[in-house]
Amino acid sequence: MSTSCTLNFMENNKIKATIYKHYDGDPHTIFQDFQNFFNASKTLKDSRFNDPNYLAARYVVWLANQFSETSPIDFLGVGICITQPYGIQYQYFIDCSTAFTPIIEYKELY
């Protein structure tokens, strides 16, 4: 069974972008993924850690590259949401107001 989650990128305590991840949404995997993503992003000239929309977009691209076997656009399991989907197990909150070290909090929904 999959462990689905949403990752909410926040600014001033407001959700600005939400990503849905269909599987591997448990805290251990998410925190490891974010560590790897942040390490890769630190090598960029302009990481935009403090911009929730850019950071969320880059995270989707990074995940797509992790999930894809043939082409960067041939992936499933991650998407962008307008509202919180039903049935997710975890919600994560990424505070983008702290440049280079976003604060990640989460809550388990069931």
Structure tokens at 41: 């992003």
Q: What pTM, to 2 d.p., does this model score? A: 0.87
Q: What is the pLDDT of residue 45?
A: 83
Q: What is the pLDDT of residue 99?
A: 63
Termini Cα distance of the chain: 14
Residue 2 DSSP class: -
Q: What is the mean pLDDT, run by run of 10 residues, along the chain of 110 residues?
A: 89 93 92 89 80 91 81 81 91 83 79
User: 1: Cβ–Cβ under 8 A, 6 or more apart, which residues?
Assistant: none
Residue 99 DSSP class: T
Q: What is the pLDDT of residue 1?
A: 55
36: closest CA among 16, 72, 65, 4? 65
What are the residue boundaries of the structural domains of the chain, listed by start?
5-108
Beta-sheet pairing, 78-81 with 90-95: unpaired
Q: What is the pLDDT of residue 19?
A: 96
Q: What is the pLDDT of residue 100?
A: 61
